[in-house]
Amino acid sequence: MSETRTIKKILSTLNWVPAHWDKLAPVLAPAEIVYADHHDIPAVLAAIKDVDVALLGGDIDLEMLNAAKQVRWVHCDHAGLNASNHPEIHDRGIILTSSSGRSAPVLAEHVFFLLLSLIYDSRLIETHQQGHIWKNIAENRQKGAITRTMGVIGLGKTGLEVVKRARAFGMPILGYTRTARDTIPDGVEKLYCEERGDTVDELLQKSDVVVLTTSLSDKTYHLIDERRFGLMKPTAFLINLSRGPVVDEKALYKALVNKQIAGAGSDVFEQEPLPAESPLWDLPNMIITSHSTPAVADRNGFSLQVISDNVRLYREGKPLRNQQDRRDVYTKGDK
């Protein structure tokens, strides 16, 4: 039987509108709440010293973690926690959770924006429009998305939203996941699983479009490297909506220049902002967006629901939603 846990004092650096706080406050009661601006480091360090729970609008760095002598649960109100998921978190038995999933629908839309931009050669279309050129570019255009096989690496919330949309486009779907599951998600024709000994290699060989929606960890760092680009079809596209270091950018550049793959679209890069001198900017078969996705309706409302659920689960001594573990730790390269 799970052991119940109490919450006496909470630090919040969430920058929410009053309407959301009005809904969350009764959930947190009777705990005392201390507020601080997440960018006011001295105030955060002073406040975090004697709280049980920290609800943060950004990441928790090692300075904050070292000051947090009593904290038992930290929630970071965004998705990828590679900058927060320190080994020390798990060494101390602290629970770490995220708001993963709050932007999943628009991230999935972004995948198809990048894919269709590559298929329809949107850069050439824009050049023609700017030059007032009426020209049929069908001879430059690849076949449409329908019947192309899409391989989705990472079947979390964003990955599953991508699967839904790929089904609507009439695309056969392959999936790769870390954790074994009892059922295969609707629309996925074949599921590969790390816990069952599968690698991403066969998925890469069979896919016309490879979509990365996996989290960044030491395990997924440079998951797509020179060897794996060599497994992909020369007609394939790579779309990265996960984190930049999941892809070896030097290998990506070589694969695009040497036509090992047909093109790539990415919203994330190993160094952000992407340096002006990066050769990726000038590749005709590369579509770049600057880690920016359209807003989703009531994103904070989604976070509110996750935190509310997790307050209840925490007090009941149960596993929390979006709870991180040691497999999610990222220590390679800059965070």
Mean pLDDT score of the chain: 95
% of residues, the chain, pLDDT over 90: 90
**Cα-based angle 321, 66, 323 (whole degrees, multiple of 5):** 10
Question: Taking each helix axis from N to C terminus, what angle separates 104-119 and 157-168, rounded to the nearest 10 degrees?
Answer: 50
Looking from the CA of 72 toward its CB, the CA atoms found within 13 Å total 12
- The continuous run of DSSP H or E covering 76 comes out as strand 73-76
Torsion sign across C-alpha atoms 228, 264, 243, 79: negative
Q: Determine how many CB atoms are found less than 10 A away from the CB of residue 132.
A: 6
Reported pTM: 0.94
Contacts 24+ apart (CB under 8 A), 51-54: 51/9, 51/10, 51/11, 52/6, 52/7, 52/8, 52/9, 52/10, 53/7, 53/9, 53/10, 53/11, 53/314, 54/10, 54/11, 54/12, 54/13
Contacts for 29 with CB less than 8 Å, ≥ 6 apart: none
Q: What is the DSSP letter of 136?
A: -
User: Which pLDDT value is given to residue 140?
Assistant: 59
User: Which pLDDT value is given to residue 3?
Assistant: 77
Q: Determine how many CB atoms are found less than 10 A away from the CB of residue 195.
A: 10
User: Which pLDDT value is given to residue 2?
Assistant: 63
User: Which pLDDT value is given to residue 183?
Assistant: 93
Exposed, middle or buried, 190 (CB in 10 Å: 0-12/13-18/19+)?
middle
Q: Which residues are catalytic?
A: 243, 272, 291
Tell me: pLDDT of 1 over 60: no
Question: Taking each helix axis from N to C terminus, what angle separates 122-130 and 104-119, rounded to the nearest 10 degrees?
Answer: 70
**Euclidean distance between CA atoms 4 and 6, whole angstroms:** 7
**Cα-based angle 93, 96, 101 (whole degrees, multiple of 5):** 155
pLDDT digits (tens, 9 = 90+) for 252-265: 999 999 999 999 99
- The continuous run of DSSP H or E covering 249 comes out as helix 249-257
- The continuous run of DSSP H or E covering 127 comes out as helix 122-130
Q: What is the DSSP letter of 216?
A: P
User: 258 vs 183, 239, 244, 253, CA distance in Å?
Assistant: 39, 18, 21, 8
Q: Determine how many CB atoms are found less than 10 A away from the CB of residue 31.
A: 16
User: Which pLDDT value is given to residue 143?
Assistant: 87
pLDDT digits (tens, 9 = 90+) for 125-138: 999 999 999 988 76
Exposed, middle or buried, 226 (CB in 10 Å: 0-12/13-18/19+)?
middle
